[in-house]
Structure 1
């Protein structure tokens, strides 16, 4: 394999490894964001359940219509926040899946380039060995001819 071909493949491999490393960092960031979004969704859902339980207990006692209206308004806003955060968590999970796919593709490119380099190096070694074998055979043949000529 020529030096320029080796340099080119090495450069391609280096770039592919850089892209793979960037994809790994992106996956890590996406995973952290997805985890945080899911955690916040869980906290909001839990808070919504606690809020409902508290008000169920409060309704068991006498209460005013103003308080009921406040409960309903806040409950609706809280429901909307839970739904919105659920969508945020879904989108974060989708970004995480895309980042995982991108990392997988980058790893495949790195592996393919490494395999190509290994094949090219093996072929270059075989060619070198063939040349050396040919040179050895030619040398042996010349020595044999010289011996035959001197006999």
Structure 2
């Protein structure tokens, strides 16, 4: 394999490994964001459940309409927050999955380039071996001709 081809493939491999490493960092960040979003969703949902339980217990005692209105208003905003955070968590999960797929593709490119380099090196080794064998055969043939000419 020529030096130029080797240099080109090495450069491509370096670039592909850099892209793979960047994809791995993106996956790590996306995973952390997805985990944080899911955790926050879980905390909000737990708070909503606690809030509903506390007010259910409180309604066993008489309450004014304004307090009931506040409860309902806050409950609606809390439900919206839980729903919104659920959407955020879903989007974060989707980004994580896309990042995982990008990393998989980058790893495949690196593996393909390594395999190509190995195949090219093996081909170059075969060519060099054939060249060496041919030179050895020519040397042996000349030596035989020289012996025959001197004999």
TM superposition score category, shorter chain reference: over 0.9
Q: Does 1:90 align with 2:90?
A: yes
Q: Cα distance, 1:89 vs. partner? A: 0.2
Alpha-carbon separation, structure 1, partners of 2:24 and 2:61: 56
Alpha-carbon separation, structure 1, partners of 2:59 and 2:108: 61
Q: Cα distance, 1:120 vs. partner? A: 0.2
- How does 1:2-151 map onto structure 2 within 5 Å? 2-151=2-151
Secondary structure of the residue that 2:59 maps to in structure 1?
helix
Alpha-carbon separation, structure 1, partners of 2:145 and 2:116: 43
5+ long unaligned stretches in structure 2: none
Count, aligned residues: 151
Alpha-carbon separation, structure 2, partners of 1:19 and 1:51: 47
RMSD: 0.3
Alpha-carbon separation, structure 2, partners of 1:143 and 1:20: 56
User: TM-score, structure 2 length as denominator?
Assistant: 1.00
5+ long unaligned stretches in structure 1: none
Alpha-carbon separation, structure 1, partners of 2:139 and 2:2: 26
